[in-house]
Structure 1
């Protein structure tokens, strides 16, 4: 098991809390960390404390007026109308005390991971408190106040002159990150998500390929509702391998939303733990193949915080640390302690049963549709390779 990995975490990250009824619940971090500790897979020396991002770092992406509005909102000093102009004080993004400080820590956690990897202190770093991929330059969106992914990419460019491959497997399209770098040929974004036909934010179509010099560096693969593991993984594996070969990044940043799972209450996909075993495995391979191992991973969506997120996110760390041979029963100490608080029956094993749900009636049709979507999304790469072969 390698020691060249860092797990960025602090209890302070739990202060990013909209309210007790909001679906975005960072208590999932507590559950995940405790699961890893119960199997002796996370030790104190592997944990790095996140720092708070400076305002200058936030300004790499966010407008100063917006940052100031978030600060005032967290102090209860902004009008309702002005707040809503910035996307805060809404049902999705309610105001909570000291929200600027709480979100700056989440951004700083991702920057902490960046510096650990890019300085050579570690090969891989995981910051599950990050992954807020919907935030825009001057507006909150989709439970995301500041966009730590976008800030981190700009920081990677400015401080380390890095070419960044951003890979997003959240069920929701990574719109905030995509549009932050839509005209930048040194950032390649790949988002595999449920089609926006039924799901927020409604973007992420195949034809969103970038703009100006950035045209051809944005890849979107909107998969159909009810997509299952095999189709999801075929799409993901082909896409990340071909895009990485095309772009040849210096570092890979993966956003690991866990909301494509069948149990997730906000989405309509049918992935199981089979997908969440494979996603980090392939990303790990890509990082070593193209980036000398440089891999930064963040969290993201995931709204079944009891049955899904702890297992899915623990598997990222287990893959990073080359300790991924975890199968069979979950630790009884973890199950016994948390079942008393859980509102649902906790799964007892790392993997989901084969009969987790009744068979999907349109499986073949969905699989074929996703294959066509993948082919259309990757057509520019495949067409260029065909021309190169023909010219040889």
Structure 2
């Protein structure tokens, strides 16, 4: 694993890799769209990603992944990439070669690269600092099977790496539209891992009910369709920040999935990217180590803009009102083709980074559920 001191310069570190530029799950799959390469290109076009802050992600070898994944599963994943196909037995046992988790040319190398980034992040943060890995956040992966577009579970591997590098208490916050069932499976009984998930109710994988929150340090907040910026601000200020502050973590891992914004096709939530950026900023000063991961996000323009803004927030950059020509060129070159139609971008997806705020009334059920979870934390 690459050895880099992430805390020596005091500057945030961006972990990326060129593998994401041309790798796709297939022409029909939601993850056919470019994401990490867009963030890299857009951040560079804005002058936000100098070489000194960029680290190329290594590819994790199977032996490095056995802290969570079974050797049998890892062997099947490597073999599936080699063969370009799976047997019926492998499909049934490991959920490889399914519509959600298809066979594609980099089906081991690509997730092993994002897993390598998360493992490296734990090493970089040994002495503190900030690390950003937008390719990370594959929070559905299970020990013995792929799950929900996730072949490996890099958030779990990141937390394990932090532990190997001297970190005790870890707060894991997940604001993806989907519940992090794989991460909860790994840490639901661990008193040294605080897990907070805000996700859409009745959305796949349909786990993470409010009533599931009574195990260990797990707090699940399923929210109804239409969640707006003001409701997320309430959740941030009255649930997430008090819980994390009281926990006194030595490290924070934030899964910053971009699929909860209005433009994303995989949820019915209606946030703007401002809601995500506000949470990124608010969590940063609470712990000496901060790892921000990507996650869901299936509209290439909205995910690229949101995740580039995350990097800007981590670096204290001013979000420009209008993007310079080079940055507009990055977004203007994106396409979003599907099996049935081509999606056309709105003008502000090309010429701006920041969405207009999407506020609204705060529903009674949001207040009630936040208060119920917050009350659990009180002695």
TM over 0.5: yes
What whole-Å deviation, never above 9, does each CA across 1:96-130 have from its counterpart, x for those lacking one?
A: 1242222111100111222111244xx10100111
- Deviation at residue 170 of structure 1 after TM alignment: 0.4
User: Which residue is equivalent to 1:252?
Assistant: 252
- Deviation at residue 222 of structure 1 after TM alignment: 0.9
What whole-Å deviation, never above 9, does each CA across 1:161-208 have from its counterpart, x for those lacking one?
A: 42111010101111110111111111111111111x2x1110111122
User: Which residue is equivalent to 2:6?
Assistant: none
Taking a change above 3 Å as real, the CA distance of residues 242 and 18 of structure 1, as seen in their structure-2 partners, is same
- Deviation at residue 78 of structure 1 after TM alignment: 3.2
Equivalent of residue 164 in structure 2, options 148, 158, 161: 158
Equivalent of residue 298 in structure 1, options 293, 296, 306: 293
User: Which residue is equivalent to 1:388?
Assistant: none
Q: Distance in 1 between matches of 2:167 and 2:37?
A: 35
- Deviation at residue 64 of structure 1 after TM alignment: 1.1
Q: Distance in 1 between matches of 2:334 and 2:270?
A: 26
Taking a change above 3 Å as real, the CA distance of residues 346 and 117 of structure 1, as seen in their structure-2 partners, is farther
Map 1:61-80 to 2 at 5 A.
61-76=68-83, 78-80=86-88
- Deviation at residue 283 of structure 1 after TM alignment: 1.6
CA contact (8 A) 2:33 2:299 kept: no
Taking a change above 3 Å as real, the CA distance of residues 53 and 160 of structure 1, as seen in their structure-2 partners, is farther
Q: Distance in 1 between matches of 2:312 and 2:333?
A: 26
Q: Distance in 2 between matches of 1:108 and 1:300?
A: 15
User: Which residue is equivalent to 1:322?
Assistant: 316
1:133 to 2:139 alignment: yes
1:207 to 2:207 alignment: no
CA contact (8 A) 2:130 2:290 kept: yes
CA contact (8 A) 1:16 1:26 kept: no
Q: Distance in 2 between matches of 1:21 and 1:331?
A: 32
Q: Distance in 2 between matches of 1:346 and 1:48?
A: 33
- Deviation at residue 156 of structure 1 after TM alignment: 1.9
User: Which residue is equivalent to 1:379?
Assistant: 375
What whole-Å deviation, never above 9, does each CA across 1:263-300 have from its counterpart, x for those lacking one?
A: 100100010122133121112132xxxx22x1011100
Q: Distance in 1 between matches of 2:290 and 2:369?
A: 27
The total of aligned residue pairs comes to 360
Runs of 4+ displaced beyond 4 Å:
none
Taking a change above 3 Å as real, the CA distance of residues 185 and 337 of structure 1, as seen in their structure-2 partners, is closer
- Unaligned residue ranges in structure 2 (runs of 5+): 1-8, 336-343
Over the aligned positions, Cα root-mean-square deviation in angstroms equals 2.0
- Deviation at residue 8 of structure 1 after TM alignment: 0.4
Q: Distance in 2 between matches of 1:260 and 1:310?
A: 14
Q: Distance in 2 between matches of 1:184 and 1:3?
A: 31
- Deviation at residue 53 of structure 1 after TM alignment: 1.8
Q: Distance in 1 between matches of 2:122 and 2:322?
A: 34
Q: Secondary structure at the match of 1:75?
A: helix
Q: Distance in 2 between matches of 1:15 and 1:180?
A: 31
What whole-Å deviation, never above 9, does each CA across 1:20-53 have from its counterpart, x for those lacking one?
A: 2211246111221121111111111110111122
Q: Distance in 2 between matches of 1:78 and 1:276?
A: 38
What whole-Å deviation, never above 9, does each CA across 1:294-350 have from its counterpart, x for those lacking one?
A: 1011100011111x1122111211111122x21311222222454244342342222
Q: Distance in 1 between matches of 2:58 and 2:205?
A: 30
TM-score (norm 1): 0.86
User: Which residue is equivalent to 1:45?
Assistant: 52
TM-score (norm 2): 0.89
Equivalent of residue 350 in structure 1, options 353, 363, 367: 353
User: Which residue is equivalent to 1:389?
Assistant: none
User: Which residue is equivalent to 2:38?
Assistant: 31
Taking a change above 3 Å as real, the CA distance of residues 52 and 44 of structure 1, as seen in their structure-2 partners, is same
Q: Secondary structure at the match of 1:193?
A: strand
- Deviation at residue 74 of structure 1 after TM alignment: 1.0
- Deviation at residue 147 of structure 1 after TM alignment: 0.3
CA contact (8 A) 1:233 1:275 kept: yes
Equivalent of residue 200 in structure 2, options 186, 194, 200: 194
CA contact (8 A) 1:264 1:302 kept: yes
CA contact (8 A) 2:238 2:374 kept: no
Q: Secondary structure at the match of 2:132?
A: strand
User: Which residue is equivalent to 2:341?
Assistant: none
Q: Secondary structure at the match of 2:194?
A: strand
